[in-house]
Amino acid sequence: MNVRQKQILDVLKDQNLVSIDFLLEQTQVSPATIRRDLQILEEKGHIERFHGGAKLSRKNHYELSFERRAQIKIKQKIYIAQLAANFIQAGDSILLGAGTTTLYIARALAQQEKKVFIVTNNLIIAQEAANFPSLRLSLLGGNLDYANMESVGPTAYENLLTHVVDKVFMGVNALDAKFGALSIYEANAYLYRTMAKISKDVFVVADSSKFSAEASHVAVPIQELKHLITDNQANAKAVAEFRKQGTQVHGSSF
């Protein structure tokens, strides 16, 4: 497997399902090269091709660790995290959903030494936040999803219902102006919908690639998606569609 093919698998782990056009944009190679790479990856059992795109194979699911995903699109995640931190005031209670972008929000708050109460279901966020006395912490229980380093399941859901927070920040797999913020995992989507319900204000944090990604489960319905924070490379037309639905989109180019 060459470097480019590994890159394609990394993208698919992050997005689960992508179009050929999206892969062309990410890799900057010819359509013939992408199709050849996809054919090789399919023959090895890593992916399944369909007309116009590809998805991860159910037979041989390619795992990319949370730590590795945290190193993808670092500049965009730092940018988004800093914007998100501007919406958080000292004394706020916030909920950070599992995700690599929300990890960067926790880091931004630690650097600013804001006194904030954090509720999270992410083990990595909890470990990092515990090192800073300005950040009070509540970790949700539940079954550990090792791929995302988050607690899920009935216990996490029950724990979540004991909280009311000022703001929730959550990362997602895809964005759709008709349906809202989407997740590739049903359990995550169910938990995220509950997060939105117990929060006074709802923020989705997602880099610009999520506008062209696909996922099958609604994490935040469009009517509940109050704020969307993305990077300054987001497509203007896609941003406009969300604004038509009443979502406030935040980013320096808008």
The CA distance from 100 to 13, in Å, is: 13
Q: What is the pLDDT of residue 60?
A: 47
How many CB atoms sit inside 10 A of residue 23's CB? 24
What Å distances lie between residue 85 and 80, 121, 237, 239, CA to CA?
9, 19, 26, 21
| Alpha-carbon gap, residue 188 to 61, rounded angstroms | 18
* 254 residues of the chain, pLDDT tens digit each: 788 888 888 788 776 678 888 888 888 888 889 888 888 888 777 788 888 888 877 554 444 566 666 667 788 999 999 999 999 999 999 999 978 899 999 999 999 988 999 999 999 999 888 999 899 999 999 988 877 788 988 999 999 999 999 999 999 988 999 999 998 888 889 999 999 999 999 999 999 888 988 788 999 999 999 999 999 888 889 999 999 999 999 986 66
* Alpha carbons within 13 A on the beta-carbon side of 104: 24
In this structure, the strands spanning 199-205 and 165-171 are parallel
161 close to 153: Cβ distance less than 8 angstroms: no
CA-based nearest residue to 210, from 166, 168, 174, 161: 174
CB of 4 closer than 8 Å to CB of 29: yes
Q: Which residues of 126-165 are buried (b: 16+ CB within 10 A; e: fewer)?
A: bebbeebeebebbbbebeebeebbbbbeeebbebbeebeb
Query: What local confidence, expressed as pLDDT, does residue 17 receive?
Result: 77
Full-model pTM: 0.75
- Determine how β-strand 93-96 pairs with β-strand 116-120: parallel
The 3-state secondary structure of 115-182, one letter per residue: CEEEEECEHHHHHHHCCCCCEEEEECCCEEECCCCEEECHHHHHHHCCCCEEEEEEECCEEECCCEEE
Distance between CA 249 and CA 234 in Å, rounded? Answer: 10
**Domains of the chain with bracketed CATH:** 3-56 (1.10.10.10), 72-250 (3.40.50.1360)
Helix pair 31-43, 3-15: axis angle to 10 deg: 80
